[in-house]
Amino acid sequence: MRTKTFRLWALAVILASGACAADKIAPKIDKQKLEAYMRYAEGYAAQVSISIDDPTASSFKGYFRLLVHLSNGPHKVDRVYYVTADGQQFVNGNIWPLNENPFADTLEHMPTDGPSFGPETAKITMVIFSDFECPYCREFAKTMRDNIPQKYPDAIRVIFKDFPIASMHKWAEAAAEASHCVQNQKPEAFWTFHDWIFEHQQEVNEGNLREKILGFVKDQNLDAAKASSCMDTHATAEEINRSLEAGRQLQIQQTPTIFLNGRTIGGAVPWDTLNAVIQLELNRPKDIPGPTAAKCCEVTIPTVVSK
């Protein structure tokens, strides 16, 4: 979650006036009025649809998490806000309790399933949301695969999550589904597929994707009939949908987006930059609690003024 200028909006006219008896009781909000206020305050354009979830508990005492779903045609983005327990103030920004990890709220919603390599006991967990058709994802994948396994074999666990942007990339979603068809037959073959699809990305198109994937399957001595059936029936589509939803909850707007122990890194950063962040995490001050758990393909939500 990107660091933003901290904003505290007093919403006495927006949120229900009754104070909560305890932090565990979520405040009642008038969603229609809140949407109107938010549309004005954030400057969202008229064509943007806004849907507001009910407040839920957060890791920050006195604040409840409020997930807001924004959509503009096929483009979807989730944003996280916070509302005070008395229902009178609305917060847009990061809250950092000094006795907690600064990325605690992000980590609370971070998925830990999916194809991975590296030990589960590693000090750093890197979660990568990627799109097989995104050229910058290809660039980052090469950077990651050329360096992490060799230089940090015991210190970093890498988890891959799918975030195909179907509105921009015609075959990304089908490739994501196929990668899980391959994984279901032979888990370790996922990373072979990952490297292969990125290496051949510029040769692949919507028309030849299936043929090329089945060629890969045969080369890996996997069952082509099973893979074909898996792709035809979209047997792994739900896995992709869950990954997309997890990414939206983490407010992902571009691919690749990398989370390194909860810290957001956007875009295909070069190795020197990534390594500097890795070193920052490996040398985290002992009094800061540890975790418990180039732009491409950016989804933008239009506002009347640029931010």
Taking a C-beta distance cutoff of 8 angstroms, is the pair 163, 257 a contact? yes
In the chain, the domains with their CATH numbers are 7-95 (no CATH), 108-282 (3.40.30.10)
The pLDDT of residue 294 = 43
Question: Exposed (0-12), middle (13-18) or buried (19+): which is 213, by Cβ within 10 Å?
Answer: buried
| HSE toward the beta carbon, residue 76, CA cutoff 13 A | 18
In this structure, what DSSP letter does residue 20 have? Answer: P
Taking a C-beta distance cutoff of 8 angstroms, is the pair 292, 301 a contact? no
Taking a C-beta distance cutoff of 8 angstroms, is the pair 28, 18 a contact? yes
The pLDDT of residue 86 = 79
Quick check: bond before 55 cis, omega within 30? no
Structure tokens at 111: 């998925």
Taking a C-beta distance cutoff of 8 angstroms, is the pair 288, 102 a contact? yes
Print pLDDT tens along the chain (307 aa): 433 334 545 444 344 433 334 456 888 888 888 888 888 778 888 899 999 999 998 877 888 999 999 998 888 888 889 988 877 788 887 777 777 888 888 898 899 999 999 999 999 999 999 999 999 999 999 999 999 999 999 999 999 999 999 989 999 999 999 999 999 999 999 999 999 999 999 999 999 999 999 999 999 999 999 999 999 999 999 999 999 999 999 989 899 999 999 999 999 999 999 999 999 999 988 888 888 644 456 656 666 555 5
Backbone CA torsion sign across 48, 52, 57, 60: positive
Q: Can you tell me the distance from the alpha carbon of 307 to that of 298, in angstroms, rounded to the nearest whole number?
A: 15
